């Protein structure tokens, strides 16, 4: 099966709100193969987002280079966590945000239980 076929199955499972294993079993597919395809598709998406800056033509004068560098930003990864004290944490973390994330988790984990 080609990667586009796996992508269609993965999207269908998501649309139906079914876990990959259940969807695979219902459609006679290998769940392990679906998980592998999902990893490959995610890796491909990450590679596309991290590519060398694109060049877009802009108006230039005389002999100036008609291109300007454009940097594509990676999409932030969503993070949801429930801390031991009951605090629910939901953040979108971009590249370089790990120090802020660690500090936020440490502060929130020390709060008294809100449940």
Question: Which residues have CB under 8 Å from 54's CB, separation 6+?
Answer: 70, 72
The phi, psi pair for 67, rounded to 5°, reads -115, 150
Give the predicted TM-score (pTM) of the model. 0.44
The 10s digit of each residue's pLDDT in 102-114 is: 777 777 777 776 5
The phi, psi pair for 103, rounded to 5°, reads -65, -45
**SS3 category, 64:** coil
The 10s digit of each residue's pLDDT in 45-71 is: 776 666 655 555 555 556 666 666 667
Instruction: Give the angle subtended at the CA of 41 by the CAs of 40 and 43, to the nearest 5°.
Output: 65
- The rounded distance, in Å, linking the Cα atoms of 9 and 34 is 8
DSSP state letter for 33: H
Structural domain boundaries in the chain = 3-70, 77-109
């Amino acid at each position: 099966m080609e990667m586009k076929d796996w992508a269609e199955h993965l999207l269908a499972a998501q649309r139906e709100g079914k876990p990959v294993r259940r969807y695979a079993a219902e459609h006679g597919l290998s769940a392990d193969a679906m998980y592998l395809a999902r990893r490959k598709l995610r890796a491909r998406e990450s590679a596309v987002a991290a590519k060398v800056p694109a060049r877009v033509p802009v108006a230039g004068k005389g002999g100036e280079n008609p291109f300007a560098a454009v940097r594509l930003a990676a999409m932030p990864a969503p993070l949801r966590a429930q801390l031991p004290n009951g605090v629910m944490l939901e953040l979108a973390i971009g590249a370089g945000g790990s120090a802020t994330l660690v500090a936020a988790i440490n502060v929130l984990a020390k709060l008294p239980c809100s449940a």
